[in-house]
């Protein structure tokens, strides 16, 4: 998708409009620890890096969209970037200048920035339904392209246009209707042999909702109160999850497509295989805070 305002935004960023070298050409050989440090601390220690690396939006927006701010939320983003890179390179091909990557539900852009080490910026696209999130991405990241989208497909991308599509904490919130519609759309816009990686919630999330409900106090946050309503009958929800059903706790009255979704492996193996080959289903909190589904388009 062409972004006609991209060059204008680059000029609006002052000196950044004159940046001659994209990040992947400068930092392509940088190791993981250095690359993470550059994105977390580098901009403060080396001001010239402001011309090359994305900044951060205001802390309040970071907190609202990811539940944390600064280094903590960037580390989560980096860990998932590294997981996506590992699986893509294991099952598809090495990331390169020509790789096309879609960050679906990009929020304020905490994950896609890390792909700037590996991929030509024109191949990096982030989309989200949240207008403020997309505005923050455009203000802080001069390199990638960002677009606001509708809650349901279609999306304005060509067929087979991406090599890698990833979703962090998106399918963990969408209704089954939205889930299945987007799954079919991803099949359309992903290239043959391309990789789809998405996180979701496991049965432990249902149990967590019950524990939060039992521990509510006058000082509990609004998010805690909303989450506590997700699965009012946790035993029934866990039975559904264990039997391979899509479990959804509807808690956001202003967003009828958004809530808390827990998707078991059996459901993925039943529904996703209509579109993709399933490569892995990771239920290991040492690898990711959520369950991870890894799939490939035939």
The model's pLDDT over 29-68, given as tens digits with 9 standing for 90+, comes to 999 999 999 999 998 899 999 999 999 999 999 999 998 9
Question: Where do you find CATH 3.40.50.150 in the chain?
Answer: 6-201+263-296
Q: What is the CATH number of domain 6-201+263-296?
A: 3.40.50.150
Q: What is the pLDDT of residues 139-190, one digit of tens each?
A: 999 999 999 999 999 999 999 999 999 999 999 999 999 999 999 999 999 9
248-283 burial code (b ≥16 CB/10 A, e <16): bbebeeeeebbbbbbbbeebbeebbeebbeeeebbe
Give dist(CA 98, CA 120) in Å, integer: 7
272 — pLDDT class (breaks 50, 70, 90): very high
**Average of pLDDT values for 218-243?**
93
- pLDDT on residue 31: 97
The radius of gyration of the chain from alpha carbons, rounded to an integer in Å, stands at: 19
The pLDDT of residue 226 is 86
Distance in angstroms (rounded) separating the CA atoms of residues 262 and 246:
6
φ/ψ bin of 105: left (φ > 0), alpha (ψ from -120 to 50), beta (otherwise): left
- Mean per-residue pLDDT of the chain: 92
């Amino acid at each position: 998708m062409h972004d006609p305002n991209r060059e204008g935004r680059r000029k609006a960023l002052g000196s950044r409009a004159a940046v001659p070298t994209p990040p992947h050409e400068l930092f392509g050989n940088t190791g993981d620890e250095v690359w993470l440090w550059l994105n977390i601390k580098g901009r403060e220690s080396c001001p010239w890096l402001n011309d090359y690396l994305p900044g951060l939006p205001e802390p309040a927006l970071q907190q609202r969209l990811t539940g944390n701010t600064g280094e903590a939320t960037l580390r989560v983003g980096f860990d998932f970037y590294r997981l996506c890179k590992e699986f893509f390179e294991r099952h598809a091909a090495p990331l390169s200048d020509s790789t096309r990557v879609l960050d679906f539900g990009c929020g304020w852009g905490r994950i896609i920035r890390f792909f700037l080490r590996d991929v030509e910026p024109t191949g990096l696209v982030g989309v989200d339904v949240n207008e403020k999130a997309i505005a923050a991405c455009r203000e802080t990241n001069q390199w990638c392209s960002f677009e606001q989208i509708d809650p349901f497909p279609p999306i304005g991308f060509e067929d087979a246009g991406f090599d890698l599509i990833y979703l962090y904490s998106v399918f963990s919130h969408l209704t089954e209707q939205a889930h299945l519609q987007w799954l079919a759309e991803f099949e359309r816009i992903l290239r043959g042999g391309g990789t789809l990686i998405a996180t979701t919630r496991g049965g432990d999330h249902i149990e967590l909702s019950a524990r939060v409900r039992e521990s509510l106090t006058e000082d509990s946050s609004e998010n805690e109160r909303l989450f506590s309503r997700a699965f009012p009958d946790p035993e029934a929800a866990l039975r559904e999850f264990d039997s391979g059903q899509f479990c959804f706790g509807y808690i956001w009255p202003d967003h009828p497509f958004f809530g808390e979704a827990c998707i078991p492996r059996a459901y993925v193996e039943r529904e996703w295989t209509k579109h993709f080959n399933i490569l892995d289903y990771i239920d290991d909190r040492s690898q990711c805070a959520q369950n991870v589904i890894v799939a490939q388009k035939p």
